[in-house]
Structure 1
């Protein structure tokens, strides 16, 4: 069979159902992080095609050098791990906002890794793949697979996988302009550490697939740092808690996105429309899903 002329890879976003940052750091200088993440159906799309040299472009165009893009770094790391030249053109159609806490750079890196695995006929379970993923960013290993999962270490070591919460509606809202950098959020946390949310009840609820208990134990002790750095996030959280059909509200990751778990998709869409039309915020209705990167051969 002839090699495909290109492949399309979807790169889904994530939300953190639980995020607990510990004050102490490991020998690498990283905080210990416990997190439970789930993928959602908001996604970037990558087109990957063989080429004479490695080139990465984004739509809309990124405001930083190509070499700093996580997809570029992932391709380079794959080449180094497998002793091959990563000669690809990678075009990323961006839908996940940057600095939003939704994992855009990490999922783009994971989609690049999975795409190159497909083109180079590498088993994604090869132990080198996990090392490549972790070298790019803490969230990248999660995006390689897709089901809801509990990660520890620096947030990069998978401990447990759970049944998907497929179809659960969520509304996503963030300030229209700007975002929160992960580094700034952690620096603020270091200056003002916050107590850890309870982890065991969340893990028990995920194991039991008890949705009421899962959503009752959503927590994020990095959220106060995000709100301090961008007070509008706190305004959005308060507003979302007042909306009908909302089961739980929390900041995703280090922000700037706030998510609301909703009773119905109609409620999620109503919140997104109101946030956009009445407040001028970026907003999107979405659903939780179970998939990691999905490859379509061109």
Structure 2
């Protein structure tokens, strides 16, 4: 593509319909993880353009060096994998809350990978792309795809993709706290690992596209850890489970966001209004989506 054009790339959030973390670790020191995720239509937006050198900025401004940003690390990893200089200016308009368990940082990294693929004419199915994604973070490979998928290994090896649940309404709610650090969550998990839920009913329901069975099987054994670290998360989850029209409510990832799968979009929006106005929590209505990053030429 033209070197003067810039790209706009959407980076969707995710929710975990199942998360099972196991005490054993691999050679890299990563826990064995079973994860079933689906994308939702809450997104960050990245603008990527050629530049003299690699530069990453976020809006709002991040409180850590850009070199620690997953988007920066993804660009560096792409440069190393393809022996090219990743000279791009990357601006990330953040809408996915940080430390929420909604995967914003991982999605931003996947968006950078897909954007650079477009610039460099790299086939996104090139095996090196998956290796780059896995090197940046466990959830990054998922965001290269988008439909509901089951990942094993450290949560970074795709085992199965399922028929999308497109349009299913979701209410996202999180307390106004600093969020949950993934590292701190895993350290607390190691101290007293909660047992993982049953994965097979989730996979069977997805294969059959049986939403009732699926949402009855939603599980996350990091949820107790998140609730210990930020007790308001437990309050949010309990409140959501009491709201009308909620089919299931659980912590996403290591928190601090809780998602509620709803019967209707009207029910999701009513929950969000109540959470914002009556409880003072962060809240957002969303829908399950089927796509990973969407790349458009500016």
TM range (shorter): over 0.9
Looking at structure 2, the residues matched to 7 and 30 of structure 1 have their Cα atoms a distance apart, in angstroms, of 34
CA offset at residue 93 of structure 1? 0.2
1:281 maps onto 2:286 in alignment: no
* Alignment-derived partner of residue 262 in structure 1: 262
Deviation at 1:3, TM superposition (A): 4.0
Tell whether 2:153 aligns with 1:149. no
Q: CA deviation at 1:28?
A: 1.9
Q: Are 2:3 and 2:50, in contact at CA under 8 Å, matched by a contact in 1?
A: no
Give the Cα separation in 1 of the matches to 2:11 and 2:148.
Answer: 15
Tell me which residue corresponds to 1:46. Answer: 46
* Structure 2 spans left out of the alignment, 5+ residues: none
Q: Deviations for 1:69-94, whole angstroms, at most 9, x for unmatched residues?
A: 11111001100110110110000000
> How many pairs align?
298
Aligned to 1:18: 18
CA contact (8 A) 1:14 1:39 kept: yes
* Residue 84 of structure 2: aligned partner: 84
- Judged with a 3 Å threshold, the aligned counterparts in structure 2 of structure 1 residues 188 and 2 are, in CA distance, closer, same or farther, namely closer
The 3-state SS of whatever aligns with 1:232 is helix
Query: After superposition, what is the alpha-carbon deviation per residue over 1:173-225, rounded to whole angstroms, capped at 9, x for unaligned?
Result: 00123100111111111111111101111100000000000000000001000
**How far did 1:4 drift?**
5.0
After superposition, what is the alpha-carbon deviation per residue over 1:118-148, rounded to whole angstroms, capped at 9, x for unaligned? 0110000111111100000000000011111
Task: Tell me what 1:180 maps to.
Answer: 180
Structure-2 separation of matches of 1:251 and 1:88: 35
Pair 1:105–1:85, CA change in 2 (3 A): same
Inter-partner Cα distance in structure 1 for 2:118 and 2:137: 21
Q: How many angstroms apart in 2 are the aligned matches of 1:111 and 1:218?
A: 27
SS in 2 for 1:52: coil
Q: 1:218 aligns to what? A: 218
- 1:101-131: CA deviation from partner (whole Å, max 9, x where unpaired): 0001000000000000001100001111111
Structure 1: runs of 5+ lacking an equivalent = none
Does the residue aligned with 1:213 lie in a helix, a strand or coil? helix
Moved over 6 A (4+): none
Provide the rounded CA distance (Å) in 1 between the counterparts of 2:86 and 2:31.
32
Q: Secondary structure at the match of 1:289?
A: coil
Q: Which residue matches 1:116?
A: 116
CA distance in 2, matches of 1:86, 1:262: 42
**Residues 243-282 of structure 1: CA deviation (Å, up to 9, x unaligned):** 1100000000000000000000010011111101111100
1:4–1:297 contact (8 Å) kept in structure 2: no
| Alignment pair present for 1:33 and 2:13 | no
Query: Deviation at 1:30?
Result: 1.2
CA RMSD, Structure 1 to Structure 2 (Å)? 0.8
Q: TM-score, normalised by structure 2?
A: 0.99
Cα 1:4–1:40 shift into 2, 3 Å: farther
Using the TM superposition, give the Cα deviation of residue 29 of structure 1 relative to its aligned residue in structure 2, in angstroms. 1.5
Distance 1:39 1:59 in 2: 22
Structure 1-normalised TM-score?
0.99
Match of 1:67 in 2: 67
Q: Tell me how far apart the structure 1 counterparts of residues 122 and 141 of structure 2 sit (CA, whole Å).
A: 16
**Worse-matched range after superposition: 102-111 or 3-12:** 3-12
**Where in structure 2 are the equivalents of 1:226-265 lying within 5 Å?**
226-265=226-265
String of CA shifts for 1:36-72, please: whole Å, max 9, x gaps: 0000000000000001111100000000001011111
SS in 1 for 2:138: coil
1:264 & 1:93 partners in 2: Cα distance?
29
